Amino acid sequence: MGNRPAELADLLDSVAKQQGDPIEVALVGNGSPLPPLPGRRLRTAELPENLGIPGGRNVGVELFGPGGRDVDAVLFLDDDGLLPGDDSGELVRRAFRDNPRLGIISFRIADPVTGRTQRRHVPRLRASDPLRNSPVTTFLGGACAVRTEVIRQVGALPAEFFYAHEETDLAWRALDAGWQIEYRSDIVLHHPATSPARHAVYHRMVARNRVWLARRNLPWALVPVYLGVWLSLTLVRRPSGPALRAWFGGFREGWTTPCGPRRAMRWRTVWRLTRLGRPPII
């Protein structure tokens, strides 16, 4: 976003120090000019407007050729994150090499000061132990690695989402195509602990995109169940009046605006998600 040049430089330094073959870097100025980065070999793009998180990441993938075909995998890293270890790249390479059906790896996000991993950063329902590796049904968009074959097969991140739930949309499509997703606690990204509600559009986008996610991916029989559960959870959490009004405005928008192509997952994928501990109604 162009407002964290020092953090960006630290992130790029942490990528450059990784063991093994050098990691090529694509850097996207998402509606902002790129800061001066002398002495670095980068593939870059400066976008005239902010395309949102998934739109900006899709542009980054295309900097490695159509569908990222010039590389085997892409790492999406937030510009205020940092890889504290120098073996993250090799761990990713080894994981993809050892399991040809592994499509996406979700890293563990830890606060650089406390070492704490927020519960929302563990992409499963049983999130009390962030040090436990496991197969999962979604991933963390700013701390992950995606095999580019997945993107070419099932499509890119949904740019129209702009912010929120775009990872789950891609994850569900990947799982429906037979790929696996793993949460790896030993591959760590340092990132300051934050609240997602810090974004002004949070409540509206979360609600709108939740509806879009269901409309695009779920069998019609599950759509009202899934959205009914999330409506109930939202009310139980007792958000403030303005937040609740924004949420209901986004919920309504999700039903009244185009959500992109619909490709409902197969019922055997619903069963697979259930066996993985996250039936697509929760």
- For 117-145, b/e burial (b = at least 16 CB within 10 A) is bbeebbbbeeeeebeeebebbbbbbbbbb
* pLDDT value, residue 53: 96
Summarised one tens digit per residue, pLDDT across range 255-267 is: 999 999 999 999 9
* pLDDT value, residue 40: 93
* pLDDT at position 182 over 70: yes
Distances (CA, A) of 115 to 102, 203, 279: 27, 28, 30
**Is residue 205 exposed (0-12), middle (13-18) or buried (19+ Cβ within 10 Å)?**
buried
Summarised one tens digit per residue, pLDDT across range 82-104 is: 999 999 999 999 999 999 999 99
For residue 225, what pLDDT band results from cuts at 50, 70 and 90?
very high
* pLDDT value, residue 72: 98
Closest by Cα among 144, 208, 143, 216 to 173 = 216
* pLDDT at position 198 over 70: no
How far apart CA 272 and CA 206 sit, in angstroms, is 25
Question: What is the rounded average pLDDT for all residues in the chain?
Answer: 95
* pLDDT at position 166 over 90: yes
Of residues 5 and 200, more confidently modeled: 5
How far apart CA 51 and CA 198 sit, in angstroms, is 19
Cα 233-234-235 angle, rounded to 5 deg: 90
The pTM is what?
0.95
Closest by Cα among 41, 38, 24, 30 to 4 = 30
* Residue 104 tokens, joined: 């996406």
